[in-house]
Amino acid sequence: MKSLRRRVVPVLLAALAALPAGLRAEVVDAGDNGFTVRYVATVPVAPGRAYAALTEVGKWWDPEHTWSGDAANLLLEAKPQGCFCERLPGGGGVRHLTVVYAAPGKMLRLEGGLGPLQGMGVTGIMTWTFKPAEKGTSVEMQYVVGGYRPGGFKELAPGVEPVLSSQFDRFRRYVETRKP
In the chain, alpha helices (H): 2-18, 47-55, 57-60, 157-177
Helix (H, G, I), strand (E, B) or coil at 61: coil
Mean pLDDT to the nearest integer, 7-36? 62
- On whether residue 15 sits in a domain, the answer given is no
**Burial classification of residue 143, based on how many CB atoms lie within 10 Å of its CB (0-12 exposed, 13-18 middle, 19 or more buried):** buried
Q: How many domains does the chain have?
A: 1
- On whether residue 57 sits in a domain, the answer given is yes
Pairing of strands 136-148, 74-76: unpaired
> What is the pTM assigned to this prediction?
0.86
Helix (H, G, I), strand (E, B) or coil at 125: strand
- Per-residue pLDDT tens digits for 27-67: 999 999 999 999 999 999 999 999 999 999 999 999 999 99
Q: CA-CA distance, 129 to 31, in Å (whole number)? A: 25
CATH (domain of 144):
3.30.530.20
Residues above pLDDT 90, as percent of the chain: 83
Query: What's residue 19's pLDDT?
Result: 41
Domain range for 55 is 21-177
- On whether residue 160 sits in a domain, the answer given is yes
